[in-house]
Amino acid sequence: MSRIHDALKRAEQERATSMGTHVEPAFDQPEVRNEVQRENMPSLQSSGATVMPTMASGLNYESLLARCPQTEWSPDPRTMLFFQEDDSRVGAEEFRTLRSRLYQIREKMPLKRLMVTSALPKEGKSFVAANLAQVLVRQHGRRALVIDADLRNPGMHRHLGAAQSPGLAEYLLGECDEFAALQRGPMENLFFMPAGRVAGSAPELLSNGRLKLFLQRVEPLFDWIILDTSPVIPVSDATLVASSCDGILIVVRSNVTPSDLARRAREEFPDKLLLGVVLNGAPSGKLAQSKYYYGEAVNSQA
């Protein structure tokens, strides 16, 4: 896993060369940039085949559309990069690069259920997971489901401006079926399962077998399933979710994540699941735009 170590080392070096040696609060990060560290990644390719409707799991795409009507979302325009016409938002290009690298990895291994996690809260897990799902469905015919599996401190619904419940918690409690827990917003082919109400027994819920069952049932309907999780260091929930996933992206917030904690987070997972590190908030070279963009994001979330 030298690639991961290289990426963590790089994040550490950026910290070392930044102003001051203490860990900066996340909101002080001036710039936006995301990248995944992975070797030998040539140009954009999108070889994953579009999933055809199937009855194999008892669900098909038509029943999903019929039973999951479009709901009102108000995506935060300052952090959700792909809901507007403007394709040149700061950070958008980095998400396209991330997408192309994921397709390249997918040529070498089965990859559909993708978990996004990080060492600590507020490092950008939900930001990365939500924007990644959007950029994936920007490609014609691709369908994605993004799941907020952070049952303790859910945040994805705020980024998307969607309802928090019913969602994963209600499904895991057996209170609703998969259709009732899913939402379809204004972006074609993008589906969302919010976390649901905060139930207070996240590890028990995530390990009761229903998450695996859910993923098996809906998997044939989607090209990608992105799972946003709790941070790794304080709680074990992400490790439970990882056992149902094909690959993991670890978000490291530039100038924020202490490198020893990022390393500890990475050690929680088997090497074969680790796809790479997304460096969030690194300098992009577009200082004026980035600062403006970030300033707006801070105001909206504070």
Ligand X SMILES: Nc1ncnc2c1ncn2[C@@H]1O[C@H](COP(=O)(O)OP(=O)(O)O)[C@@H](O)[C@H]1O
Q: Are 112 and 219 in contact (CB under 8 A)?
A: yes
Question: Residue 4, SS3?
Answer: helix
Does 94 help bind ligand X (rule: CB under 6 A)? no
Angle of CA points 218, 222, 228, to nearest 5° = 80
Among 75, 154, 155, 276, binds ligand X (CB under 6 A): 155
CB within 8 Å of 96: residues ≥ 6 apart: 44, 135
> If you count them, how many residues does the chain have?
302
Q: Are 8 and 252 in contact (CB under 8 A)?
A: yes
Task: Report the candidate in 87, 91, 99, 106 with the shortest Cα–Cα distance to residue 36.
Answer: 99
Token pair belonging to 153: 């401190």
Task: Report the candidate in 211, 252, 243, 234 with the shortest Cα–Cα distance to residue 115.
Answer: 243
DSSP codes joined into one string, 227-251 = EE---TTT-SHHHHHHTT-SEEEEE
Alpha-carbon distance 300 to 302, whole Å? Answer: 6
In the list ligand X, Mg ion, none, the entry touching 244 (Cβ below 5 to 8 angstroms by class) is none
Give me the least distance between CB of 272 and ligand X, in Å please. Answer: 24
**CB closer to ligand X, 209 vs 285:** 285
Which residues, 230 to 289, sit near ligand X by CB under 6 A?
A: 280-281
In the list ligand X, Mg ion, none, the entry touching 290 (Cβ below 5 to 8 angstroms by class) is none
Q: Pick the stretch among 67-75, 93-101, 120-128, 166-174 that binds ligand X (CB under 6 A).
A: 120-128
Look at the block and give the residue holding tokens 């705020």. 158
Among 125, 138, 157, 266, binds ligand X (CB under 6 A): 125
In the list ligand X, Mg ion, none, the entry touching 280 (Cβ below 5 to 8 angstroms by class) is ligand X
Q: Which residues bind Mg ion (CB under 5 A)?
A: 125-126, 155
Give me the least distance between CB of 144 and Mg ion, in Å please. Answer: 17
Give me the least distance between CB of 300 and ligand X, in Å please. Answer: 7
Map residues 40-79 to x or -, x wherever contact with ligand X holds by CB under 6 A: ---------------------------------------x
Q: Are 168 and 181 in contact (CB under 8 A)?
A: yes
**CB closer to ligand X, 123 vs 237:** 123
Question: Residue 87, SS3?
Answer: coil
Give me the least distance between CB of 91 and ligand X, in Å please. Answer: 6
Give me the least distance between CB of 147 and ligand X, in Å please. Answer: 13
Among 83, 192, 224, 294, binds ligand X (CB under 6 A): 294
What is the contact surface with ligand X in residues (CB under 6 A)? 26, 32, 79, 91, 118, 121-127, 155, 280-281, 294, 297, 301
